[in-house]
Structure 1
């Protein structure tokens, strides 16, 4: 029977447009094995998979498209982008170079190439690729962002970064999107006041995006000012959930939790999967002394610790040393990437499916049993309902902290279960206090408002900690010698296609 692909593609696009990504995938998957399937079906399949964060699953469709269109720079670029998204940096580099060789002149291809080179630790080459992207299009904002981030991660030097940002600052005088990017970069590096100051010329523009950026920067300076900007953003864009959450966050910071609770409950009724709204609601309940706030027993139930190595002490030390050496090779940087919780440390992404290092492969293999045990025992809910036992790793990374390093308190807004795997820990952890410990419940919401931690876990090399992604978590800083070397990952539930 000949499949009516025109009809199937239309049905799949309609399903995706109404949030039924699983149905769209089911309709389009047969295109991979049907020689008669049109290119449009393969492109639609790749699009729905990538939109759902399944870049690796989209690669076969994009590889097939590249084979069908051997002269197409666009097909090679799309393949390169997906390979980069799923951590296959060498393959991404090769596809991006093929796109350029086939006449591709889009700055986006040079950007993808630069990211692939950066992931392989070839930092000078990555910088050259980002500069090539900007040479092709001098107002290419992603090129500015990635070049600035590379400079910051390599050197951790604010004056040096500011010098790199001069062309972006010039562009920010005439383009709102450039001003928003500049403010975001400054907030991650130079601090909240420079970020807010950089928006001054745009505050009267009537833009919800500017008001949101101003609310974010002001949150670290003045909660009342942050609330003012957040309310302006909501008035300008009443259906924007970011504005809704900015108002609720500012209300908590202004110690008006009951108003925040009402808004957050409405938000979660509309989107039960918004983990940040859930985290803010937990903070508001606690501030208001609401009986629904988390208890010590809740933390003991939700936060679990698992040992990953059951061999003797010698085998354990050898395994941890091999894992640590493999992870250190992933850390060529001095400072953290933008928009991450790491402070005074470095972070590198890992894709466990393609690492290819035996020590890291073994590490991820050892995670399976404890993850299965956690999900079976705790049964963390998703979208307000319990789920089955299938899961996938939606993102993984390694963090290396030195003296003074820490994670600021945060949540993972679109994950289900989050984690920390300890490979090396500093001596301070066992010094009698809680230096370097993982903490839960602490939340700094605005300049003048913070909640203290309610639960702690003492890191131990060779252990895994699992917890729901909506729990506020961070680390206590440590100042002594040594390093804190970890792997972290997020889980997403898998529902049948």
Structure 2
């Protein structure tokens, strides 16, 4: 790593809005220290929220042509404007913009040119210039509904939804038969949660243009959001019958079928969408996941392989493909394609970071360090993320002082970067400076007071500093709760219910190795949000869990300013941010970890080996031992013996892990993370 950093200010990374979010349902978190993927439906209660795809350039593009005449008459002016549009569509923005300015020398208030320049400024990421040009265009042509639509969309992209709604409403008034005005107002209404208005706009758009596929997608999205999944599926199938070559509608159908757990049909819908031209990273990801959930791992790997071949520079696609390859124990090196893609795109810091992180997770630390050195030699540019991985790699090699200097430099260069601060906190905790770690955590918590990883590191720092606030944050006796989950009606005993559950859950473990980026070792984990599945026993289990959680919440003390106790929701309404099952085999265990995406985490014991039932500590869950680069030899603060049917609940920021066991019988659990219901949260 260079001693001098070539960047001074870190701006938030811009992300393109994904029209239909990746329905990855992938690898529900069991305590990864990295924040889970926000698109993961396991983190949104398992709902696959459709959002219609946008299409601003429908139909075949006209070829660009060159205008060489003088701009002195209406015909030449019209041709110049048409040429500007064609150049813009062809991606030749600089030429288009230059021609537009030439037109404005002759016709200073020409609204089409001002409109085109506004769109170009928007696409260049110049919002102030774009807004000024939109307003000039509307000043010149105040009744132009198309300008109003694009200005409204621009305002929405800037988070100014109220102004956007006003502009789109004016567009409908000016052009009541303009499909795009109804469509985009419907999109905005869906975004803001006005489902009645979204339905009205979508319905009107479909009536005005019965063959306009995006309008039907919008209607299906509204139906899904309203809980009318069957109607949404029916809408998709109706359009497909009338227009079989509608790739985006096939994709939307795949999303809905996957939500309904018809995984093979969903995979085939994604397959059709890709075959018809909807070749996006999300399409390949979802197709691979659906084939895996359908119990067809070979097809899953083939879809993932096709995805990375189609999009070799997509780091997230590579990450999922490598994890799937590892967990299915496919032949060959799971990192081979990622190595090839990183070398083919040496300037992609995302690819090199992903490669190094996964190699490290696979205990291939020397290769991880070699990858970073190769990236440097090939000219990989500085980015905060790349420099952070470089700095932490020094600690992997035992070069702690160098790592400290580099992390300190990074923190000073990027003072608002959460990931750098928490990596630095972890490093200094490992190397005897808990006071510095506490200070770094305090900086993060000042901006995000409920950041679970910052709370976890702060608790360890307070412990090492013998700060009395540790017992306030981490009360191992009161905050770790045990409650029996009662069987539902129809079962003679707890044993009968959990024996039946064990059979169902075992059938869902379709991989062969532990997830690369999770805490378990020597076992497998189910794919996606567990309670989305249609198995009646799982529905019954969810209901019984909610009853048990309610019993625990009713006994919470009133500490409104506490990061755990104080988040008890009004009426004790909670939502799942993830749920999964883990099956540990002999010598299996969980490394010490915490859950960054939860408030309250859990372990529910479904089936236990005889050795765990009878043993002293084998297979037990321990609390209070942090996961750091170095083992500080801190003893567990509490150890809890598992019992079939017992649910253990604890703060998500509390370190916990499983002690290895040896048996021919598996250890089977269900785990989940809870959050206060956002619509019901309040102080009890």
Q: Same fold (TM over 0.5)?
A: yes
1:191 aligns with 2:364: yes
Q: 1:11 to 1:199 in 2, by over 3 A?
A: closer
Q: Is the 8 A contact 1:152 1:335 kept in 2?
A: yes
- The alpha carbon displacement at 1:413 in A equals 1.1
Pairwise mapping of residues 65-76 of structure 1 onto structure 2 (< 5 A)? 66=236, 72-76=246-250
Q: After the TM superposition, which of the residue ranges 322-331 and 86-95 deviates more from structure 2?
A: 86-95
Deviation at residue 31 of structure 1 after TM alignment? 3.9
After superposition, the C-alpha distances for 1:301-340 in whole angstroms (9 at most, x for unaligned) are 1111111136999633322221111111111222122311
Pairing 1:262-411 to 2, within 5 Å after superposition: 262-294=439-471, 298-309=475-486, 315-378=493-556, 385-386=566-567, 387-388=569-570, 389-411=572-594
Following superposition of structure 1 onto structure 2, how do residues 478-489 of structure 1 map, counting pairs within 5 Å? 478-489=661-672
Alpha-carbon contact 2:233-2:257 (below 8 Å) kept: no
Match of 2:159 among 5, 10, 14: 14
TM-score, reference length from structure 1: 0.83
1:304 and 1:466 in contact (8 A); partners too: yes
- Per-residue deviation, 1:94: 4.6
Q: d(CA) in 1 for partners of 2:677 and 2:348?
A: 41
What are the Cα deviations for residues 438-470 of structure 1, in whole angstroms up to 9, with x where unaligned? 111111311353533101111111111111111
Tell me, in whole angstroms, the C-alpha distance in 2 between the residues paired with 1:65 and 1:322.
38
In 1: Cα distance, 2:220 partner to 2:465 partner: 47
Question: Which whole-Å CA distance do the structure 1 matches of 2:663 and 2:577 have between them?
Answer: 33
Instruction: Give distance in 2, aligned partners of 1:296 and 1:274.
Output: 13
Q: 1:452 aligns with which of 621, 624, 635?
A: 635
Alpha-carbon distance change, 137 to 205 in structure 1, aligned in 2, over 3 angstroms: closer
**In the alignment, what sits opposite 2:55?**
none
SS of equivalent residue, structure 2 residue 429: helix
CA contact (8 A) 2:288 2:300 kept: yes
Q: Which moved more, 1:465-474 or 1:28-37?
A: 28-37
Mean alpha-carbon deviation: is it higher for 81-90 or for 205-214?
A: 81-90
Question: Could you say if the C-alpha distance between residues 191 and 292 of structure 1 is closer, same or farther in structure 2, counting changes exceeding 3 Å?
Answer: farther
Distance in 1 separating the partners of 2:348 and 2:336: 19
Q: Structure 1's 111 and 351: CA in aligned 2 closer, same or farther, altered over 3 A?
A: closer
Higher deviation after alignment, 103-112 or 27-36: 27-36
Change (3 A) 1:140 1:249: closer
Match status 1:207 vs 2:383: yes
- Comparing both chains, which one has the higher relative contact order based on Cα–Cα distances under 8 Å and sequence gaps of 6 or more? 2
Q: Per-residue CA shift, 1:328-361, capped at 9, x if unaligned?
A: 1111222122311111211113534431222222
Partner residue, 2:352: 179
1:428 aligns with 2:628: no
Deviations 1:165-216 (A, max 9, x none): 5524533645322211211221221333432332123458432111222344
Q: Say yes or no: does 1:30 pair with 2:207.
A: no
Structure 1 CA distance, aligned partners of 2:506 and 2:486?
20
Asked if the contact 1:208–1:232 (Cα under 8 Å) also holds between the matched residues in 2, the reply is no
- 8 Å Cα contact 1:215-1:229 kept in structure 2: yes
What's the CA shift for 1:250? Answer: 1.3
SS in structure 1 at match of 2:636: coil
Q: How far apart in 2 are the matches of 1:211 and 1:65?
A: 49
Q: Secondary structure in 2 aligned to 1:495?
A: coil
Counting matched residue pairs gives: 482
Check whether the contact 2:623–2:636 (CA below 8 A) recurs between aligned residues: yes
Alignment of 1:26-65 (within 5 A): 27-35=193-201
Question: Within 1, Cα distance between the matches of 2:467 and 2:216?
Answer: 51
Match of 2:420 in 1: 243
Q: Deviations over 1:387-420 (max 9, x none)?
A: 3221111111111111111111111112111111
Alpha-carbon distance, 1:126 to partner: 0.7
Tell me, in whole angstroms, the C-alpha distance in 2 between the residues paired with 1:123 and 1:97: 15
Alignment match, 2:280? 106
Worse-matched range after superposition: 295-304 or 438-447: 295-304
Q: CA deviation at 1:487?
A: 0.8
Q: Is the 8 A contact 1:417 1:468 kept in 2?
A: yes
Provide the rounded CA distance (Å) in 1 between the counterparts of 2:368 and 2:257.
34
For 2:319 and 2:633, locate their aligned partners in 1 and report how far apart those are by CA, in whole Å.
31
Tell me by how many angstroms 1:124 deviates: 0.5
Which ranges of structure 2 fall in alignment gaps of 5 or more residues?
Answer: 1-147, 163-188, 206-213
1:20 paired residue number = none
Structure 2 residue matching 1:485: 3-state secondary structure:
strand
Alignment CA distance shift 1:383-1:86 (3 Å): farther
Gaps of 5+ in 1: 18-22, 48-53
126-135 vs 392-401, which moves further:
126-135
Which protein is bigger by CA-based radius of gyration? 2
Q: Is the CA contact (8 Å cut-off) linking 1:12 and 1:27 kept in structure 2?
A: no
The alignment yields a C-alpha RMSD, in angstroms, of 3.9
More deviation, 131-140/243-252: 131-140
Distance in 2 between residues matched to 1:431 and 1:451, nearest whole Å: 26
Q: CA deviation at 1:262?
A: 1.8
The answer to whether the Cα contact below 8 Å between 1:425 and 1:483 also exists between their aligned partners in 2 is: yes
Distance 1:260 1:60 in 2: 52
Shift of 1:92: 3.7
* Distance (Å, rounded) in 1 between the aligned partners of 2:306 and 2:226: 27
Deviates more, 1:184-193 or 1:76-85: 76-85
